């Protein structure tokens, strides 16, 4: 059963991965993007080739269903989507992702697995930065694919897309 409403080609949410490094994570996120009809934006430089077998294996046969856009770097992404509403995610942000007011067409932005978005970048976007709470101090961060899944489904829930 498909719980998502028809979106007439426009995604409810846009997933943005900045400098992703692990192909299996991107493959899993691509599968999520296909399942939720969200658009996946990959901002380079990427830590792998889009032809990587691990990337393809993680996404399995869903790749034809992924609405994928790629950019050589952040400047190219901003040149195309500079006016877009973005929410940024990091373990260093102060506010919970549950405090975000998600809207149709939002861009949810995540950094690389090992470096995140960077403190300087977050400082420049502090008013739109969020975190997913982690209760165990010994755990640095969540897996990128898990974090993206949590935020995508919360955004869809807030928009009334899950019934």
Question: For the whole model, what pTM was predicted?
Answer: 0.92
pLDDT at position 51 is 80
Residue at 134 is within a domain: yes
The tokens for 93 are 């942000």
Residue at 47 is within a domain: yes
Residue at 4 is within a domain: no
Query: Reduced to 3 states, what is the DSSP secondary structure of residue 157?
Result: helix
Range of the domain at 48: 13-158
What is the edge-to-edge ordering of all strands in the sheet holding 95-96? 67-71, 39-43, 13-18, 106-110, 86-89, 129-131, 95-96
CATH number for the domain spanning 149: value is 3.40.1280.10
Quick: pLDDT tens for 85-110: 999 999 999 999 999 999 999 999 99
CA 134-40-88 angle, to 5 degrees, is: 40
Residue at 163 is within a domain: no
Residue 18 CA to residue 36 CA, distance in Å, equals 20
pLDDT at position 58 is 65
Domain count, the chain: 1
Whole-number Cα distances in Å, 150 to 44, 56, 133: 23, 22, 11
Residue at 112 is within a domain: yes
Residue at 117 is within a domain: yes
Whole-number Cα distances in Å, 40 to 43, 96, 134: 10, 23, 25
Residue at 8 is within a domain: no
């Amino acid at each position: 059963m498909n719980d998502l409403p028809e979106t007439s080609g426009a995604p409810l949410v846009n997933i943005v991965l900045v400098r992703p490094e692990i192909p299996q994570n991107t493959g899993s996120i691509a599968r999520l993007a296909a399942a939720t009809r969200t658009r996946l934006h990959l901002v380079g430089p990427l830590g792998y080739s889009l032809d990587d077998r691990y990337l393809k294996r993680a996404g399995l046969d869903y790749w034809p269903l992924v609405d994928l856009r790629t950019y050589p770097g952040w400047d190219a992404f901003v040149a195309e989507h500079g006016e877009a509403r973005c929410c940024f995610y990091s373990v260093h942000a102060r506010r919970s992702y549950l405090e975000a007011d998600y809207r149709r067409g939002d861009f949810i932005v995540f950094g690389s697995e090992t470096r995140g978005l960077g403190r300087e970048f977050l400082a420049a976007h502090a008013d739109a930065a969020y975190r997913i709470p982690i209760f165990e101090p010994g755990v640095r961060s969540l897996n990128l694919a898990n974090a993206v899944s949590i935020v995508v489904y919360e955004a869809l829930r807030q928009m009334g897309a899950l019934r």
